[in-house]
Structure 1
Amino acid sequence: METDTLTGPMDLKVRELLKEVQLDYTPAFTKLVNDTVSAIKESIIKIPEDLPVTADVAPGFVRDVGADKAEFKFKKPKCIEMGGSYSIKCIVKPDINVDLFIQLPKECFHEKDYLNYRYLAKRFLYLCVIKKHLMSASAVCKVEWSTFQNEARKPVLLVYPAKKLAEVPGLFIRIIPTAESLFDVSKLNLKRNNIRALNQEGNLPLSTPIYNSSILEDMFLKDNGELLKRTFLGQKELGEALILLKVWAQQRSSIYVHDCLNGYLIAIILSYLATHGKVNDSMKPLQIFRVALDFIATSKLWSRGLYLQDEAKISKEDRMLYKDTFPVTICDSHTHVNLTFRIKSNGFFELQDEASLTLRCFEKSGDGAFEDIFMTKIDFPAKYDYYVRLNLKEKNEVYASGFCLDDECWRLFEQKLHGLLKQGLSDRAKFIRVIWRNIPTECSMENGFSELDVEPLLVGISVSFLEKALRVVDVGPDAENKEEAVKFRAFWGEKAELRRFKDGKIAESTVWEIEQWKRHLILKRIIEHVLRRHLSMSTRNVIQIVDQLDFSLLHGVGGNLTSH
């Protein structure tokens, strides 16, 4: 009852917030969008039919993506139409952009171009041709590269109109290729290997579920966009709830990121709740918002997976395959692609924790709940007890096996680092978050991927309990357990030592001797040791935000600060 009474005054604040962040589709705005899209279409129409396109257009990209073939003759797109948040009128200011789907023509592809990165190379070369012709269009101010969900092998074009409108500063059109009916869907199932160079021991081919899902995503992107249109158009409260969830997520940089949540997935989750009767048009936006957060935080359906189609129509074998392959599954209405194939388990745990924390905010009195939920920016460094920044520029080990395997090398490095820190910190840490937003704001994708390491990798660590986090001794396996003792010493190296404890137990251990007032630095030392031993990271490339104010503990606030 108490939280219900709170939603009354909060509803008023939510109404004001929606007025502030919702984009008004004025005649001037829609005309600017339509004129810019028309100019893009005209530029594409002028591209000569059967123009020869080869890898020479972007040799660096074709080389680094790993494609073995990438030649075709240019054909005009089968269809060009707007989609995304613009099409369902759920754009959230200040980031104003319009998705423009361009359907790649089948004539540019061979039936086996799903193999060995060929599709991804041709997809990019097709965009390169379009970019070249857009650069000379008078209605276009500039054209830049970006990526789809931070995936370097799937670039998109950002087109900025020459005409400016004060009410929509920074507006751009995002050109996204789609691949309807290009390939036989059965050739892209999760068990198949479509990168012939990827083999396991015994020369057996490895399955490529991430790679396959990335291609399937393009094949059904437009259809899934149509599903969202059917769900949201005409549903005012549902659309406003989507906007509230976007505002909430965008304020939390640890979850609004490539391995967790984005606006598209929020819309998909709301669509699932609407089509399965968990929310309806009689509910207020704030009620739908709370139902969605509760579903994210507590629903047991996540362990089975969510299916936009009737789950009974999907075989048990297919459901188990999704469950065994991905930590999170939201299967599209065609049951061909897991829309959450990029989400990692630690990202999803973080999302559930944030949803739970937000639900508890509703218990606050006064204006505190609204401020905490919607108005407070929670940047990555402020979120965690320990914050680490790694400079990995020109660290060749990141892509020693190639930039693109089943997943991209940057995502694999995130997982490797997370695993090392999880093993090193053990129960000292409640959450370990590793995020590498490796795509810079402006990049020249034609030159390949070697410059996609300039952005730092970020690590956030939330400790479990202080007595665990600050303990001096970690006790490992018993001396008699030879196999585990060997693993322990292999991980810790010279820090591992055999000790006899007061209870007579003899076990492997690590000891972090340190002064009492410096025990908060034990985690810092563990992190430095693990990074140095397993990744050859020197301390000059590892910045930990933990001890910058320690001089005040040592000297007190009355000390002479100028000498420190």
Structure 2
Amino acid sequence: MEVDTVTDSPPNLKVNDLLKNIRIDYDSLSKPVDDFVSSIRKAIDAIPEDFKVTSELAPRFVGDIGADKVGFSFKKPNGFSLSGSYSTRCMAKPDASVDLLVHLPNECFYEKDYMNHRYHAKRCLYLCVIKKYLLSSSSVEKVEWSTFHNEARKPVLVVFPAKKLDEIPGFSVRIIPSASSLFNVAKLSMSRNNVRSASADGVPQPTPTYNSSILEDMFLEENSELLKKTFSAWKELRDALILLKIWARQRSSIYVHDCLNGFLISVILSYLATHGKINKSLNALDIFRVTLDFIATSKLWDRGLFFPPQSENPVSKEEKMQFRELFPVVICDSSTLVNLAFRMTSVGFQELQDEASSTLKCMKLRDGGFEEVFMTKIDYPVKYDHCIRLHLKGKTEVSTSGFCLDKECWRIYEQRVHSLLKQGLGDRAKSIRVVWRNTNQDWHVESGLSVLDREALFIGISISSIENAYRTVDIGPDAENKIEALRFRKFWGDKSELRRFKDGRIAESTVGADPVKHEEFGTLKPWYDHIGGDAIGLTWTKHNSKKRERHEDEVEMNPIEMLKAVGKMGKGLVRDIYLLKPPRCL
């Protein structure tokens, strides 16, 4: 049993008690976990070799990601290794999952399988074979599909034991493929196009997200070993990681695919330890505080975080600049090739910084803010003034250009909805959050990707001020600014009008009508009643209009075109509007 090392001040005593309840007892857990992992390995090792694997195992998945030439002769894995929180002894209840890396054999892949999602297709088919044989094992109760960090083109297997572990209810093993040395890394540089359908006006575009998705698998083992070395002999660092996980899990707006997860938290801690930002004289709560301060205030985020390179050649200025141009957040691993934060968006990172800053203020309270920091769930209805859920099930417009190009269609749709709302609401909104958790536990890869629209798209909006919220007139660009005025008119359509104001200014503007009269918005009425949100009403009215002319030069209208189908759905589209005022630390 691990001994507590946090000093005995009242806040630290509470933290010690929390850690005692959250930590996993590895002494009692190691044998049953090792036994189950061993049975999984035996079942996989028993799979015969050299039989032909084809797309028939998951035809819809292969077709939906646009892959071809995916057949291969099955070969056994090159090896296995434990990864994730269990391997670093940083599991935190109720987390009950152990990560097992399955090292994919090179013989199953061709030199150019990094192109056009062939790697992703073969990766999935390899798991399909493993699942089939695991289900015949007496030690396995069931095998389910999940995804790696909510990336639908990268499924993983979740294996549940027939013999339950009393120490960890719901215990499972996640089987995650790794692909060390599978491809020439130069072919996966951030500037290259490796998805031929990802083009603009016939010109191939770089596919940095797609390339990063493959590179991530190629360096999974290496980065896992780095984290093991960092955390293995540093108990306070492990406890700080557990505290950060508890903190993040309590905040739905940041513990999500475009922001933070347990792996990235461990990476940030490892970076701070590697660069001497934290040391072994600090206790877990001190490390927790230093980490939040680094997240909230460090200027290093502007340049990107770079681990010391393994080779003697450091990352060049040009390479660093390329990472910063392609990704809003950069945490480059020691290979200098993988941005470990490639899924994080600028909006997600801003939410993370805001939450870190707010938490530091809470910790200045008399009792250290223990209840607010660790014990209070800050879900979306508490975080935002207004929450909307858009039900887009069966709406093929979301994936018109394909499910997977550089990014997956759901991530593109999140960005476009956010762009539309940001433009429509203007300074009425202090923050806008758009999240689509498009994967769920009952998903089967055999069903393909078209079923991943069952979950509603979530929109959270915090208003900037009551004055802005109730404003009835939005003043746009001056008439002399012809380019911006044209964009304004295109966005607002016939709701835009040129007006002269009392100060003599002549500008484009929109005037809000009585929101209560807009019956077509159904459950949006409370929004209008409470914040005067006619700006969003105008936006939706505009894009509901069937008579709106199409413009050949509608570059600025792309987000709106994506939402036109949403607008046509009318009543019943918007669900669950909450008007809860959260008690937050100011």
TM-score (norm 2): 0.90
What per-residue deviation string (whole Å, max 9, x for no partner) do you get for residues 50-88 of structure 1? Answer: 011001111000000111220000000001121110001
Q: Distance in 2 between matches of 1:435 and 1:497?
A: 33
Q: Distance in 1 between matches of 2:41 and 2:255?
A: 32
Q: Does 1:98 align with 2:98?
A: yes
Q: Distance in 1 between matches of 2:91 and 2:51?
A: 37
What per-residue deviation string (whole Å, max 9, x for no partner) do you get for residues 254-276 of structure 1? Answer: 00000000000000000000011
Structure 1 residues 332 and 396: CA distance shift in structure 2, 3 A: same
Equivalent residue for 1:505?
505
Equivalent residue for 1:286?
285
Q: Is the 8 A contact 1:386 1:544 kept in 2?
A: no
1:211-222 equivalences in 2 (<5 Å)? 211-222=210-221
Q: Is the 8 A contact 2:65 2:404 kept in 1?
A: yes
Identity %: 59
Q: Distance in 2 between matches of 1:429 and 1:322?
A: 30
Q: Does 1:423 align with 2:434?
A: no
**How far 1:518 sits from its partner (Å)?**
3.1
Structure 1 residues 273 and 470: CA distance shift in structure 2, 3 A: same
| Larger deviation, residues 266-275 vs 520-529 | 520-529
| Larger deviation, residues 341-350 vs 377-386 | 377-386
Q: Is the 8 A contact 1:436 1:458 kept in 2?
A: yes
1:154-165 equivalences in 2 (<5 Å)? 154-165=154-165
Q: Distance in 1 between matches of 2:267 and 2:303?
A: 17
What per-residue deviation string (whole Å, max 9, x for no partner) do you get for residues 226-272 of structure 1? Answer: 00001000100000000000000000010000000000000000000
1:29-428 equivalences in 2 (<5 Å)? 29-201=29-201, 203-309=202-308, 313-366=314-367, 369-428=369-428
SS at the partner of 2:572? helix
**How far 1:362 sits from its partner (Å)?**
1.3
SS at the partner of 1:313? coil
**How far 1:365 sits from its partner (Å)?**
1.4
Q: Distance in 1 between matches of 2:214 and 2:530?
A: 49
SS at the partner of 2:229? helix
Query: Deviation above 6 Å: which 4+ runs of structure 1?
Result: none
Matched AA of 2:364: E
Matched AA of 2:572: R
**How far 1:129 sits from its partner (Å)?**
0.2
**How far 1:477 sits from its partner (Å)?**
1.6
| Larger deviation, residues 152-161 vs 433-442 | 433-442
Matched AA of 2:573: N
TM-score (norm 1): 0.93
| Larger deviation, residues 58-67 vs 312-321 | 312-321
Equivalent residue for 2:481?
481
SS at the partner of 2:247? helix
Structure 1 residues 7 and 200: CA distance shift in structure 2, 3 A: farther
Q: Distance in 2 between matches of 1:463 and 1:111?
A: 52
Equivalent residue for 2:525?
none
Q: What is the total number of aligned residue pairs between the two structures?
A: 542
**How far 1:312 sits from its partner (Å)?**
8.0
Q: Distance in 2 between matches of 1:171 and 1:24?
A: 14
Equivalent residue for 1:452?
452
SS at the partner of 2:158? strand
SS at the partner of 2:115? coil
**How far 1:166 sits from its partner (Å)?**
1.8
Q: Is the 8 A contact 2:381 2:579 kept in 1?
A: no
**How far 1:466 sits from its partner (Å)?**
2.0
Matched AA of 2:228: K
| Larger deviation, residues 189-198 vs 531-540 | 531-540
Structure 1 residues 348 and 44: CA distance shift in structure 2, 3 A: same
Q: Is the 8 A contact 1:272 1:308 kept in 2?
A: yes
Q: Distance in 2 between matches of 1:548 and 1:293?
A: 27
Structure 1 residues 64 and 7: CA distance shift in structure 2, 3 A: farther
SS at the partner of 1:334? coil
Q: Does 1:525 align with 2:537?
A: yes
Matched AA of 1:522: G
**How far 1:386 sits from its partner (Å)?**
1.3
Q: Is the 8 A contact 2:515 2:532 kept in 1?
A: no
Equivalent residue for 1:558?
none
Q: Distance in 2 between matches of 1:265 and 1:373?
A: 19
**How far 1:547 sits from its partner (Å)?**
6.9
SS at the partner of 1:327? coil
Matched AA of 1:427: D
Q: Distance in 2 between matches of 1:548 and 1:15?
A: 33
Q: Distance in 2 between matches of 1:498 and 1:198?
A: 40
Q: Distance in 2 between matches of 1:24 and 1:251?
A: 23
- Unmatched 5+ stretches in structure 2: 1-6, 517-527, 546-559, 582-586
- Unmatched 5+ stretches in structure 1: 1-5, 550-564
Q: Is the 8 A contact 1:528 1:539 kept in 2?
A: no
